[in-house]
Amino acid sequence: MVLSISGFLLYRRIRFVRQAILLGKQESRNDQPTTRWKTMALVALGQQKMFKRFVPAFFHLLIYVAFIVINLEVLEFMIDGITGSHRFFLPFIGGLYSVAINVFEFLAFATLLACVAFLVRRNVTKVPRLTMPELKGWPALDANLILIIEIVLMVAILTMNATDQLLAGRGVSGYHELGGLLFSKPLQPLFGGLSDTALFLTERIAWWFHIVGIMAFAVYVTYSKHLHIFLAFPTTWHSNLKPKGEIKNMEEVTREVNLMLGIQTGTPETPTGDVVGRFGAKDINDLSWINLMQSFACTECGRCTSECPANLTGKKLSPRKIMMDTRDRAEEVTRSLQSGGPGLDDGKSLLGNYITKEEINACTTCNACVEACPVNIDPLSIILELRRYAAMEESSSPAQWNAMFQNIETSFSPWKFAPSDRFRWADELKNKS
């Protein structure tokens, strides 16, 4: 029943996230498959970019390895629950079973320590990137809840094993002595004075707490920033493999320029009525589905914002907030659509109601945020699309920018002088030599 309920809730949430992501425009990034597999293996699975900051990376690695390996024990829990057995795998692997349980316990203890360390970093030492304005309220609570839940689940594992071995030592039917379990054995004196019945109840409560907790955790993760556990893999697969300094041209503008120059590029597209494509992005449906997927994959770690030169100099721009706002808008629209509401026609938009022009205009397009992200999320691509809309659809760029745009259009450079004078400075140098 627990599996059925959690499975149904997971299905509903996965369907919701999928619908939210598919609000974006189509974009294909399946070229260079070998490079993409390698990127996904190194960045998502190997956490290559995490180790630019060793201390948090080390603690994160402990939790990550524990998440993968301890799920093998969770599999046994589920089989035991379905079949009514106890320690289902024990007869099949014999003496190796005790070794495996010791490994699980070590990882459980390591996870417990890592979660305590992260709680201290967030709430005691207050690492600056973890205390910024966009993390107030639910984001901060979410981060702390996840850590506390993981601590409680790991304590449940150790409690279960400690009481299990006490029952086995007393010869209670159905329980098996596993030899010395290094991390749960120190807990045994805490329960040594309990009767067999009380021990049995404690062991069963810890078992049920862990299995129900894992199922609840799996559902909760899809609502939290920890969705990156799963979305990091498709996100890194769909990484932008082009050089960081290369800004994607707008296809509509490129096509018009080519037509003006008499350059034919493929088959001309057939106009469809009087519909004109939008320049840039005003709302989430103007972004690509990859942009929206990345917003759900954001870990809210703040590495992007801590490396952003605009943010470091006091500007309002925070690349992390850009991703969080994009996700929040996608969720708002999807909830509206699922309830029969107006969806995108609710009078709101990503640019204006969530993200301000002051934020996007502060961006220097330096790509520091993209380079810093541990799962290759690209906030810059969203910023550029929003800025293109402001410039080309609303003509609302700062006055200094408009002057620069005009100079580029007429003089082919940001400065207002004739193109024929562009290399005059070189002539002067030549004369001096």
pLDDT tens track for 194-207? 999 999 999 999 98
Distance CA 209, CA 309 (A): 46
Domain boundaries along the sequence of the chain: 30-236, 246-261+279-397, 400-433
Distance CA 125, CA 117 (A): 10
**pLDDT above 60 (res 267):** no
In sequence order, what are the residues at sequence separation of 6 or more whose Cβ sits closer than 8 angstroms to the Cβ of residue 343? 333, 336, 337
**pLDDT above 60 (res 161):** yes
Q: What is the CA radius of gyration of the chain?
A: 28
Q: CA separation (Å) from 23 to 113, 331, 332, 388? A: 40, 10, 12, 20
Q: What is the mean pLDDT of residues 31-48?
A: 94
pLDDT band at 275, cuts 50/70/90? very low
Identify the pLDDT of residue 269.
53
Cβ atoms of residues 350 and 282 within 8 Å:
yes
Single pTM value for the model: 0.86
Q: What is the mean pLDDT of residues 332-349?
A: 95
Give pLDDT tens digits for 83-101.
888 888 888 888 898 999 9
- Average the pLDDT over each of 31-40, 46-55, 360-369 and give the range with the smallest value: 46-55
Decide which of 3.40.630, 2.40.50, 1.50.10, 1.10.1060 is the CATH code for 246-261+279-397: 1.10.1060
Identify the pLDDT of residue 74.
82
Q: What is the mean pLDDT of residues 183-210?
A: 92
Residue that wins the pLDDT comparison between 273 and 381: 381
Q: What is the mean pLDDT of residues 244-260?
A: 83
Identify the pLDDT of residue 268.
54
**pLDDT above 50 (res 282):** yes
Residue that wins the pLDDT comparison between 304 and 262: 304
**pLDDT above 70 (res 265):** no
Distance CA 253, CA 273 (A): 19
Q: What tokens does 148 get?
A: 């506390």
- Average the pLDDT over each of 166-170, 289-293, 306-310 and give the range with the smallest value: 166-170
Q: What is the mean pLDDT of residues 44-55?
A: 91
CB atoms within 10 A of CB 203: 23
Residue that wins the pLDDT comparison between 288 and 92: 288
Cβ atoms of residues 386 and 379 within 8 Å:
no
Q: What is the mean pLDDT of residues 117-143?
A: 92
Distance CA 31, CA 201 (A): 56
**pLDDT above 70 (res 212):** yes
pLDDT band at 273, cuts 50/70/90? very low
Q: What is the mean pLDDT of residues 336-341?
A: 95
Residue that wins the pLDDT comparison between 279 and 73: 279
**pLDDT above 60 (res 340):** yes
Residue that wins the pLDDT comparison between 384 and 416: 384
Which residue in this structure is represented by tokens 């293109």? 388
- Average the pLDDT over each of 142-146, 257-261, 319-323 and give the range with the smallest value: 257-261
Q: What is the mean pLDDT of residues 157-167?
A: 93
**pLDDT above 60 (res 391):** yes
Q: CA separation (Å) from 48 to 236, 255, 343? A: 12, 39, 39
User: What is the three-state SS of the chain?
Assistant: CHHHHHHHHHHHHHHHHHHHHCCCECCCCCCCHHHHHHHHHHHHHCCHHHHHCHHHHHHHHHHHHHHHHHHHHHHHHHHHHHHCCCCCCHHHHCCHHHHHHHHHHHHHHHHHHHHHHHHHHHHCCCCHHHCCHHHCCHHHHHHHHHHHHHHHHHHHHHHHHHHHHHHHHCCCCCCCCCCCCCCCHHHHHHHCCCCHHHHHHHHHHHHHHHHHHHHHHHHHHCCCHHHHHHHHHHHHHCCCCCCCCCCCCCHHHHHHHHHHCCCCCCCCCCCCCCCCCCCCCCCHHHCEHHHHHHHHHCCCCCHHHHHCHHHHCCCCCCHHHHHHHHHHHHHHHHHHHHCCCCHHHCCCCHHHHHECHHHHHCCCCCCHHHHHCCCCCCHHHHHHHHHHHHHHCCCCCCHHHHHHHHHHHHHCCCCCCCHHHCCHHHHHHHHHC
**pLDDT above 70 (res 274):** no
- Size of the chain, expressed as the number of residues it contains: 433
**pLDDT above 90 (res 254):** no
Identify the pLDDT of residue 214.
84
Half-sphere exposure of 54 (CA within 13 A, CB side): 0
Identify the pLDDT of residue 317.
96
pLDDT band at 276, cuts 50/70/90? low
Write down the mean pLDDT value for the chain. Answer: 90
